[in-house]
A and B are shown apart, each in its own frame.
Chain A
């Protein structure tokens, strides 16, 4: 397809983004960064891991998004005594019919908020992550497909790590983005105070359907990505794997393992989705750089040396972006 056609198509298909942002903006003040990442996850069929202290409108954001898209939303509070059946559902004996019937769990929703995912033991995390990957669950003998769109938004609290079950690296890799949410600005927080004091909570109206999202996902795949951008993505991911080869001797001792091939795939997909929400039919290096931290930060392992020096993966990614040549 010609680039002009792609551009025009993307312009048309992405028209709902503004509408959606306007609708969400009625209740969510600030947090544009988080909303953009939510849309990227939604459009590229990936799941999100949000890290931020309580009270940053994580639940409100996903709840509002599901209301605006006319989709089913469910929230799961992860606790140490949670069982996989509490998520996926179970077989219940029906005395009337004298047989077992399936009772579907809260995972059967378009938007699932897995609150404080690291508070549940590994078997529950594993059940959720398997459902995220396969997009289907098995209860008893039957396998059920999960609804489309299906987006899991898991949250983690960066503080209070006692009594938690940190997600293993292999499972973290299944999240497309790990988004770190910061506090709102002073101006935004003033607006939040006023809105809360006035008890004015605008109602979110459904502005798009789930079908629109499914259609938009196809359009995202069609966003043009030049081979120069592909090379740029590969350069970034390979620099995290083999820093020495990329003249990154400075961080060589800080990285224990770099991004997986899933990192490259997700970086490309997320860059396309970012270009889409910017209503562009092609990817530019700015798109890659904009979502690079969110895609890579949970996919790079730091050494003990880095941890001892309080170096974060974000700093390592900054070093990589500062050394890899932009096409």
Chain B
């Protein structure tokens, strides 16, 4: 009885008996497919570990079937006696109806120095067209599926946009304020009060200080010329604080004024230069004359409507605040 069992095993698994055989099989997961439907070809080789085989090359198409995906070769041991099971799965597809034949694969290997070949069987697959039921009416393609509104998501988006708008607004405001500060820092003239009013207030303050009476002649002339310079700067938008006396006197706006006014201004500026830079101490009458000339220049070059303006207090407050 024991002998009969061994004989059956020997007939069923001949490679186990010699221990050196290579068995190759190929199979498809289906024999019928619809056009464009993928199906799998599985190539399996059972071989002893000691034998080196040439794995068959899989090209882009096999027997008119397109290779869509070429999987790698997978190897796993079958038993402890060095028998390996190697397999590769290839996804195929046909784009035309008909009957296709997957040809058999040839596996080359050497056994005891002799070249030997193992073969797989050719496989058959039928490709059919999609059956169309002509009895039914023609339908349009499926319309776009609408996603239902999510109130939480909408609120979140609105909130996010509001935050973005607020940030952008804050950045713009920051730069506008910075620009304003720069303008102020660069000394650009911002006239808040009329030039005449500023000058007259300053003249009054200078008179009250009584600088030349206290022997502070240089300070007196410095302030006197500064008042005139600030006035000229406001009146004609000339950068008078950065101009020398000659440059101020030669300027077109000053040249357009009355000749007598020009002379009076020249008198004040030139005498002030002598006091400031050449230690000259003029006579007391010259101090008074300089003051008178300076006031006269401001008064005569100011339009009448500016001397008696209709002052809107709220307007002024707004301006100062801004």
A residues at B contact (CB < 8 Å): 3, 7, 224, 226, 228-229, 247, 249-250, 281-286, 289, 321-327
Contacts and interface: CB of A to CB of B under 8 A. Distances in A.
A209 to B, nearest CB: 30
B243 interface: yes
Contact of A247 (B186, B222, B244, B273): B186
Interface stretch (B21-29, B110-118, B276-284): B276-284
B246 interface: yes
Contacts of B187: 247, 323
Interface in B244-297: 244-247, 273, 276-280
Interface of B: 182, 185-187, 222, 239, 241-247, 273, 276-280
Contacts of A283: 277
12 contacts: A224-B278, A226-B278, A226-B279, A249-B186, A282-B277, A282-B279, A284-B244, A284-B245, A285-B245, A286-B244, A323-B187, A323-B242
Contacts of A321: 242
Contacts of B244: 284-286, 289, 326
A228 B279 contact: no
Given A321-B242, A326-B241, A247 B185 contact: yes
B241 A325 contact: yes
Contact of A3 (B239, B241, B246, B280): B280
B10 to A, nearest CB: 92
Nearest to B185: A247
Nearest to B182: A249
A327 B222 CA distance: 8
The 8 A-B pairs at the shortest CB distance, nearest first, are namely A282-B278, A3-B279, A285-B244, A226-B277, A286-B244, A325-B241, A247-B186, A284-B277
Nearest to B275: A226
Given A321-B242, A326-B244, 10 more contacts: A224-B277, A224-B278, A247-B187, A250-B186, A282-B278, A286-B245, A286-B246, A324-B242, A325-B241, A327-B277
A249 B241 CA distance: 19
A323 B241 CA distance: 9
Contacts of A323: 186-187, 242
A4 B297 CA distance: 30
Contacts of B273: 284
A309 B244 CA distance: 30
A325 B186 CA distance: 12
A324 B241 CA distance: 8
B244 to A, nearest CB: 5
Contacts of B245: 284-286
B250 to A, nearest CB: 11
A282 B270 CA distance: 13
A293 to B, nearest CB: 15
A138 B186 CA distance: 53
Contacts of B279: 3, 224, 226, 282
Contact of B242 (A224, A249, A250, A326): A326
A324 B187 CA distance: 11
Contacts of B277: 224, 226, 228-229, 282-285, 327
B280 A326 contact: no
A282 B280 CA distance: 11
A7 B185 contact: no
A250 to B, nearest CB: 8
B278 A322 contact: no
